[in-house]
Amino acid sequence: MLNDVTFGQYYPAKSFVHNMDPRAKILFVIAYIVAVFLADNFFGLAAVTVFLLLGVFFSRVPFGRVLRSVKMILFLIIFTAILNLFFYSSGAELHILWQWKFITISWEAIINMVFLAMRLFLLVMGTSVLTLTTTPVALTDGIESLLTPLKWIRFPVHELALIMSIALRFIPTLMDETNRIISAQKARGADFETGGLIRRAKAMIPVLVPLLVSAFRRAEDLGDAMDARCYSGAKGRTKYKKLTFTWRDLVGLLLSAALITGIVFLNLYFGGKFAVFDWIAGNFFVG
């Protein structure tokens, strides 16, 4: 099952996390995301970090590989962090550190910035452990299975899952096609490399139009092919692949429950993120 990767960042390996049921992994990641947002203080984030490190460890994905996924949104993290640093304000009184005209930097702003950056960082790292250890196909199967209850309100779960898997299946095909069209247009003298942003964007039009036309043609062919293979919607249809829930998944779900409860307790016990002041004051500056 290692050669079914079509795209995405799947990291093939045999590990505890890889072998988990995609549904359990998705549920775990949802719990993890909730935990990241629920955590109100640094102790909570530390607990989440411990879970992240455990997840990475048991997935056998090199830590650097997971870290690489953060690179893409590094700019976003830095940007929001800086904005938060300079423009933080709250109703309460701030411990001002430095002030110049309308820009103020306070201890609260610094703490808030670090907190926010950590949250974003943990969020991206956690979700990329999911996509690194689960193939897109397995993810689709998992989502379909998890959404099954929605069939009761006539939500087209099967259709949605089929659309997702066909989209996944056509990504490499359309990528090849795009490259072919680009080569064909280059051969006719099209220029994609020079000029400003707008010019380059305009140069893509002769690529996108044929791509769109061919995508429609393919869709029509595919529709015929599906009809010819007796496709008639979800009714009377069976499923070959069955997801199986194992002890690994039970462990995962129990852990996610533990994570959420842990975070709630840490919140109640230590209070908000600025409670650090009191904590430091209480421990180091007694008297």
The footprint of another protein (CB under 8 A) covers 1, 3-6, 136-137, 162, 165-166, 168-169, 172-173, 218, 221-222, 224-232, 236-242
Cβ proximity to another protein, 5 vs 204, nearer residue: 5
Give the nearer residue to another protein in terms of CB position, either 87 or 231: 231
CB of 184 to another protein, least distance (A): 17
Q: Which residue matches tokens 């996924």? A: 69
CB 3 to another protein: min, Å:
6
Q: Distance between CA atoms of 236 and 251, rounded to whole angstroms? A: 35
225/115 Cα distance (integer angstroms): 53
Least distance between another protein and beta carbon 133 (Å): 17
Q: Which is nearest to 58 in space by CA: 137, 136, 132?
A: 132
Task: Report in angstroms how near the CB of residue 155 gets to another protein at its nearest.
Answer: 20
Q: Which DSSP symbol is given to 96?
A: E
Task: Please check whether residue 148 is in contact with residue 97, taking contact to mean a CB–CB distance below 8 angstroms.
Answer: no
- Phi-psi map region of 34: left, alpha, beta (phi>0 left; psi -120 to 50 alpha): alpha
Closest C-alpha among 82, 85, 109 to residue 95 = 109
The minimum distance between CB 66 and another protein, in angstroms, equals 24
Residue (89 or 173) nearer to another protein, CB: 173
Q: Cα–Cα distance between 273 and 111 in angstroms, integer?
A: 8
- Cβ 161 to another protein shortest distance, Å: 11
> Exposure of 128 by Cβ count < 10 A (0-12 exposed, 13-18 middle, 19+ buried)?
buried
39/139 with CB nearer another protein: 139
Helix, strand, or coil (residue 48): helix
Distance of CA 208 to the CA centre of its chain: 28
Torsion of CA 36, 40, 46, 50, to 10 degrees: -40
* 11 vs 42, beta carbon nearer another protein: 11
CA distance linking residue 117 with residue 78, whole number of Å: 8
For another protein, which is the closer residue by CB, 191 or 227? Answer: 227
Query: Residue 222 is encoded by which pair of tokens?
Result: 């595919």
CB of 84 to another protein, least distance (A): 41
Looking at the Cβ atoms of 228 and 286, the one nearer to another protein is: 228
